[in-house]
Amino acid sequence: MKTTAVFSAVLSLLTLVSASSSSSTSSDKGTSRVKLSSTFKPPPAFKNANLVHVISVEKNYVKESINVVIENVDKAAQDEYFLPFTADQISRLGGVEVKDRKDASVRPFTVDVVEYDLASDTQYLRIRLPIPLKPKAQQTLGISYYLLKAYSPLPAAINQDEAQFLTYLFSAYCPSVYTTSKQKTEVKFPSANIPDYTKIPGSEDSKDTFPTKQGSKLTYGPFEEKPAGAYEPVQVRFEFTKPVIHVARLERDIEVSHWGGNVAFEERYELYHRGANLSQLFNRVKWAQSQYYNPTSYALRELKFPLRVGSADPYYTDAIGNVSTSRFRSNKREALLEIKPRYPVFGGWKYPFTIGWNSDAKNFLRKLAGGGYILNVPFLEGPKQAEGVEYEQVDVRVVLPEGAENVKFYTTIPDSSITEANVGVHKTFLDTIGRGVLVIKARNLVDDFRERELIVTYDYPFMASLRKPLIVFGSVMTVLVSAWLLGNVELKFNPSKK
Amino acid sequence: MSANSVQVLANAGKGESTRTLLRVIILLLIAGAAIASRLFSVIRFESIIHEFDPWFNFRATRYLVAHGFYKFWDWFDDRTWHPLGRVTGGTLYPGLMVTSGAIYHALRALTIPVDIRNICVLLAPAFSGLTAYAAYLLTNEMTPSPSAGLLAAAFMGIAPGYISRSVAGSYDNEAIAIFLLVFTFYLWIKALKQGSMLWGALCALFYGYMVASWGGYAFITCLLPLHAFVLICMGRYSTRLYVSYTTWYALGTLASMQIPFVGFLPVKTSEHMPALGIFGFLQLLAFLDYVRSAIPSRQYQTFLWLFASGTFGLGLLVLVVATSAGVIAPWSGRFYSLWDTGYAKIHIPIIASVSEHQPTAWPAFFFDLNMLIWLFPAGVYLCFQQLADEHVFIVVYALFGSYFAGVMVRLMLTLTPVVCVAAAIAISNVLDTYLDARSPNPEDHQVDDVSDGTAKKAAKSGLKSTSKPVVGVYSTVSKSIVATAMTAYLLLFVLHCTWVTSNAYSSPSVVLASRLPDGSQHIIDDYREAYQWLRQNTREDAKIMSWWDYGYQIGGMADRPTLVDNNTWNNTHIATVGKAMSSREEVSYPIMRQHEVDYVLVVFGGLLGYSGDDINKFLWMVRIAEGIWPDEVKEREFFTPRGEYKVDADATETMKNSLMYKMSYYNYQSLFPPGQAQDRVRGVRLPDVGPTLNVLDEAFTSENWIIRIYKVKDLDNLGRDHASAAAFERGHKKKKANKKRVARLLRVD
């Protein structure tokens, strides 16, 4: 587990991001949106000296990374770099992370969505550099982000034993609001089976056309200088005979119990398959036969959850009760939960389900020297699939023991993905004042963030832990005493006394 | 065993409070055992609602919890009986749902986060503990022996006859109704013994609760007047009887009329007339009683005769006229079938098609009651020995209950309480006699006959022939033999009950269990697989047509509108579905279109050997459809000329062309090597060429083929009928290939 040194390092960060703890009102964290006037246009203060755009369509979300050398061509020092997206893309964009490729210690880069004109199709992401870039100076940025719901299957409906092909549309030139001197775009595919892709002519003098294909990789470029806003639509169609898993909503509850020494997890998934629909309705005979002859299918058959070692008592249910098709392998090295949906999930089908498990509090909870507690749990623990999993909406709720106060949290999830965080009250299990519950809502995450941490600190006075036993004891005694008193009341007419 | 320890301690001369404490502990243990023995299915499977009807109750309870009481009361359900709908709030017994709803809200008020499903699953076991207590109270009214009540409670707790309807997950009306039944009887006896208006009112209150919970309340409505009538005939009319009966009847009837489903039935239907008649009769008797005290006895005789015959004749006349005029409804069909067991089979096949409405087979009595069934007459005989008012009740109840239990399997449930009470009286009598450690001393006995409580009891209530030659048993050997034998019987009874509960009554029937070769349990979960598929991957208002057995489950688990369900209130609608299932596709398709059916669901056990499937129920569909359309559906045509019901190559043309047959076996032969397709339920080999379906598409088949779901095709785009469109589709490929080649050649030329 983590050493104390890590904790203390982390503690110093906690002050940076902390939810308003005492008040239970929603503390608006700004939701990473900046409002600007509706006539806003990014100033052409930068130039992209060299740009490599890597688009990875290996998983069922798109990971794009832009490695760019930016140069300040303005006269004053600049600290705001803008990245354009379409309005549609912005709603599906998540997990934006920016770092300096040359010097990792330069941070933090803050990323905001610019809000200026909701009707406009072009929206901007504003990256604020930690140190303003001086005129003529250069800096190498590594910008990476994810796009969800990025593909459309072509053909849109296929038979259940056919291979699935997806298409993705993008621009061969990296969209930018600045002039780009030199750039190329690389596309990485899950396999070398790429039947269709747009070919574009190369530079005016040379005769070769782009892209160049190399195994499961396509490369457009290098291109010469392109003006700001240059756009060259390119569509690729590639084989993806794997499920396109889309989790529309994940609700993740983490309940800490000091008395039980237990941390309970429960996750509710609203899972969709966004791949090709069935052109003919589901045929069980074919399905049973393909299980033997040709097991690759784009239907979702199994999900694997590598849980933290020490997890115990897992359960797997859905709206109508327990699902018996699951296996849990737990030993000193792993705790692997393998679940199967009740039916193979094909494109256009959905399958909501719930899983949960317990873990010893020792694995996650630690007492601090100052008397408070620190809880370190994974922010996300979804299934680990070869094809990847995307999450449109993630609601994490951390239910703390009754009486916990001064709640602060810190997470290594990109700040721009978190839309809301607040501390509310949740009453359960004979609570009188209710438990503090930290609710964090995040958007557009992918399973690459599985290992990211969520660290919560809180104070939990000793008297608060005695509250419930005392109240229960007191109320039971009250009931017994009042029953005894009532039993002593003589209700009958007593003729002998008359 | 419990009686044993009580006796020992009682003989040791402990104080009253120790006995009370001991009794409380024993009762708690009995309640614990009653609850524990009902949890087999939860432990083996999960906390799940069982079978069919409980799914409706569960759905209704969820509706109640989600929408509140008044919405529930006015609930019109448009998701069943499409397109008719059902006035659910007015056609159900709300007691069960309201009970669980109240428990749910009470626990929520204590901020205990409990799922409504778990309350529903565990309601029946919890109430069985209360039933055991009610049996204890009732028995204590019958006999002064302290052990009889405890024995009755223990029997009630674990008797399979009651467990059959109250295992965890069996969330049906009977879950709480049996407790209410026994407790109402206890209150009635209490009221009758004391002539107390308070107890009578309490009795009416619980009777009202009973009416709100179960249609079987008619059993009380008939039994109490019968008891009163027998008492009157025995010349035991008393003001106690008058007070308790009139209080119960007046308040109880008013209470029962508050339930919308019951409404004015208590003054309209024949089932309720005995209670009303006895009520009137008691008024007359009270009046006569008053007259007798006022006038001389000679004139009274004449007055009595004239008055009695006049009233009786008048009453009969009114009853006949009112019945024939239709003011009072004649006896309902279900009621007739109580008198003539063959009635339903001829007139109402839908009632006869339910297995629990069949007459009881003899072994069932032993299966459900074990040794209690032979102790039962002994107990009744002991009641005859004393024959106070309350013992008359047991005798009447025993006769009445035995008859009905013999007529209908389901009514074994109402017999069980009286069997437990009577058997407990018999056993406690034997034990009280034989467990008395002291050897009786004849001289002692003659002198202070009255001194010892237990010895006197044994002597008085025991069989007269044995007790006369002086108080019984001298030899320790015979004592120990009898005591050991009784203990052995009791132990065997416990074993039997546990075995029956575990093997016969603890299967949820939604989930099937099988064993893998290595002995581990494998769960066959096809029902829920298919229901979940329906729930997630079809339109929310997609109408599902299936046989009515699965209506409640589809409503509860798949949450989709159904055409017919287990409520069976509309025989014609069920017959329509039966006709669609048993007719040719061309006949069925218009029916399905008219009812906006999107999917058809059938249960097929052929692959797995699951015998409760639709092909085995098929003849009932045919019979019910034939009842409405005798010209179009004929049962005879589904049998071979030799009178056999066949599904293989010898099946009749009508059978092979019926939609049900086609849906069950469609595409089934392709799962096997040619010529080896086999139906494992009926143990026959199927023809190589399977049926063709023109108007339906196979939409989903569960893993073990138990549930098959078909989608109803839309009208053909080109206006062809489905048969030719499908034939064209099938022949299409060849033609297309030919055409293409020709066309290409032409173009090249």
d(CA B742, CA B406): 77
Can you give the pTM of this predicted structure?
Answer: 0.88
pLDDT (0 to 100) of residue B201: 96
Residue B53 Cα, gap to closest chain A Cα (Å): 16
User: Looking at chain A, which residues constitute the CATH 2.60.40.1730 domain(s)?
Assistant: 4-30+243-471, 33-239
pLDDT (0 to 100) of residue A157: 92
Nearest 5°: the CA angle B141, B143, B145 is: 120
The fourth-level CATH superfamily of domain A33-239 is tricorn interacting facor f3 domain (2.60.40.1730)
3-state SS assignment for residue A236: strand
Q: Measuring CA to CA, how many Å separate B516 from each of B26, B45, B511, B520, B526? A: 41, 16, 16, 5, 17
Cis peptide before B83 (omega within 30 of 0): yes
**Tokens (6 digits) for B404:** 């009905």
pLDDT (0 to 100) of residue B646: 86
pLDDT (0 to 100) of residue A428: 85
Query: Which of A284, A285, A320 comes nearest B528 by C-beta?
Result: A320
pLDDT (0 to 100) of residue B70: 92
- Judge whether residue A17 has pLDDT over 80: no
d(CA A274, CA A153): 8
**C-beta atoms of B533 and A288 within 8 A:** no
- Give the mean model confidence (pLDDT) for residues B680-690: 87
- Give the mean model confidence (pLDDT) for residues B344-368: 78
- Give residue for tokens 């309480």: B417
For residues B176 and B125, the answer to whether their CB atoms sit within 8 Å is no
User: Looking at beta carbons, which residues of chain A come within 8 Å of B512?
Assistant: none
- Give the mean model confidence (pLDDT) for residues A158-185: 91
Q: Where does the pLDDT of residue B292 fall: very low under 50, low under 70, confident under 90, or very high at 90 and above?
A: confident
pLDDT (0 to 100) of residue A117: 73
d(CA B29, CA B2): 10
pLDDT (0 to 100) of residue B316: 84
User: Looking at beta carbons, which residues of chain A come within 8 Å of B664?
Assistant: none
- Judge whether residue B712 has pLDDT over 60: yes
What mean pLDDT, rounded, does chain A reach? Answer: 86
d(CA B499, CA B495): 6
Cis peptide before A108 (omega within 30 of 0): yes
Percent of chain A with pLDDT over 70: 91
> Does residue A370 belong to the interface with chain B, where contact is any CB pair within 8 Å?
no
- Concatenating the DSSP letter of every residue in A334-381 gives -EEEEE--SS-B-BT-EEEEEEEEEEEGGGTEEE-TTSEEEEEEES--
Least confident of A441-455, B341-355, B622-636, B708-722: B341-355
- Judge whether residue B145 has pLDDT over 50: yes
Residue B366 Cα, gap to closest chain A Cα (Å): 35
- Judge whether residue B361 has pLDDT over 80: yes
Contacts of B65 (CB under 8 A, 6+ apart): B101, B104, B105, B116
- Give the mean model confidence (pLDDT) for residues B338-364: 74
pLDDT (0 to 100) of residue B147: 87
pLDDT (0 to 100) of residue A345: 93
Q: Where does the pLDDT of residue B118 fall: very low under 50, low under 70, confident under 90, or very high at 90 and above?
A: very high
Instruction: Write out the H or E segment, with its range, that includes residue A442.
Output: strand A435-446
Cis peptide before A352 (omega within 30 of 0): no
What is the identity of the amino acid at B411? Answer: L
Q: Indicate which of B550, B701, B705 best probes the interface with A, i.e. most A CBs within 10 Å of its own CB.
A: B701
**C-beta atoms of B532 and A429 within 8 A:** no
Q: Indicate which of B531, B533, B538 best probes the interface with A, i.e. most A CBs within 10 Å of its own CB.
A: B533
pLDDT (0 to 100) of residue B244: 94
- Judge whether residue B736 has pLDDT over 50: no
> Does residue A209 belong to the interface with chain B, where contact is any CB pair within 8 Å?
no
- Give the mean model confidence (pLDDT) for residues B429-451: 65
Interface A:B, Cβ pairs < 8 A? 76
> SS3 string of B615-664?
HHHHHHHHHHHHHHCCCCCCHHHHCCCCCCCCCCCCCCHHHHHCHHHHHH
**C-beta atoms of A281 and B700 within 8 A:** yes
Query: Which of B113, B537, B557 comes nearest A350 by C-beta?
Result: B537
pLDDT, tens digit (0-9, with 9 covering 90-100), for A216-250: 899 987 888 888 888 889 999 999 989 999 999 99
User: Looking at beta carbons, which residues of chain A come within 8 Å of B48?
Assistant: 321-322
pLDDT, tens digit (0-9, with 9 covering 90-100), for B666-681: 988 888 888 888 888 8
What is the identity of the amino acid at A170? Answer: F
pLDDT (0 to 100) of residue B411: 87
pLDDT (0 to 100) of residue A69: 93
pLDDT (0 to 100) of residue B62: 94
pLDDT, tens digit (0-9, with 9 covering 90-100), for A427-470: 888 888 888 999 999 999 999 998 899 999 999 988 888 988 99
> Does residue A321 belong to the interface with chain B, where contact is any CB pair within 8 Å?
yes
User: Looking at beta carbons, which residues of chain A come within 8 Å of B44?
Assistant: none
pLDDT, tens digit (0-9, with 9 covering 90-100), for A291-341: 887 778 899 999 999 999 989 999 999 988 889 888 899 888 889 999 999
Q: Where does the pLDDT of residue A201 fall: very low under 50, low under 70, confident under 90, or very high at 90 and above?
A: confident
d(CA A170, CA A310): 44
pLDDT (0 to 100) of residue B281: 87
**C-beta atoms of A320 and B525 within 8 A:** no
User: Looking at beta carbons, which residues of chain A come within 8 Å of B701?
Assistant: 282-284
pLDDT, tens digit (0-9, with 9 covering 90-100), for B21-38: 999 999 999 999 999 999
Q: Indicate which of B107, B171, B534, B537 best probes the interface with A, i.e. most A CBs within 10 Å of its own CB.
A: B537
Residue A345 Cα, gap to closest chain B Cα (Å): 9
> Does residue A343 belong to the interface with chain B, where contact is any CB pair within 8 Å?
yes
- Judge whether residue A20 has pLDDT over 70: no
- Judge whether residue A2 has pLDDT over 70: no
CA B388 to chain centre: 32
**C-beta atoms of B529 and A430 within 8 A:** no
For residues B530 and B518, the answer to whether their CB atoms sit within 8 Å is no
For the domain spanning A4-30+243-471, the CATH number is 2.60.40.1730
- Judge whether residue B178 has pLDDT over 60: yes
Q: Where does the pLDDT of residue A497 fall: very low under 50, low under 70, confident under 90, or very high at 90 and above?
A: very low
- Concatenating the DSSP letter of every residue in B428-468 gives HHHHHHHT--SPP-HHHHHH-TTT-HHHHHHHHHS-HHHHT
- In DSSP terms, B406 is beta-bridged to none
Contacts of B724 (CB under 8 A, 6+ apart): none
- In DSSP terms, A316 is beta-bridged to A355
- Concatenating the DSSP letter of every residue in B231-248 gives HHHTT---HHHHHHHHHH
- Judge whether residue B208 has pLDDT over 90: yes
Which residue on chain A is closest to B118 by alpha carbon? A321
> Does residue A427 belong to the interface with chain B, where contact is any CB pair within 8 Å?
yes
Q: Where does the pLDDT of residue B459 fall: very low under 50, low under 70, confident under 90, or very high at 90 and above?
A: very low
Q: Where does the pLDDT of residue A495 fall: very low under 50, low under 70, confident under 90, or very high at 90 and above?
A: low
Residue A375 Cα, gap to closest chain B Cα (Å): 24
pLDDT (0 to 100) of residue B510: 87
> Does residue A319 belong to the interface with chain B, where contact is any CB pair within 8 Å?
yes
**C-beta atoms of A322 and B531 within 8 A:** no
pLDDT (0 to 100) of residue B687: 87
pLDDT (0 to 100) of residue B139: 94
For residues B507 and B41, the answer to whether their CB atoms sit within 8 Å is yes
pLDDT (0 to 100) of residue A364: 93
- Judge whether residue B466 has pLDDT over 70: no
Which residue on chain A is closest to B112 by alpha carbon? A429
**C-beta atoms of B525 and A325 within 8 A:** yes
The answer, yes or no, to whether ipTM is higher than 0.95 is no
Q: Where does the pLDDT of residue B345 fall: very low under 50, low under 70, confident under 90, or very high at 90 and above?
A: low
**C-beta atoms of A321 and B667 within 8 A:** no
pLDDT (0 to 100) of residue A361: 92
pLDDT, tens digit (0-9, with 9 covering 90-100), for B657-668: 999 999 999 988
- Judge whether residue A170 has pLDDT over 50: yes
Q: Where does the pLDDT of residue B337 fall: very low under 50, low under 70, confident under 90, or very high at 90 and above?
A: low
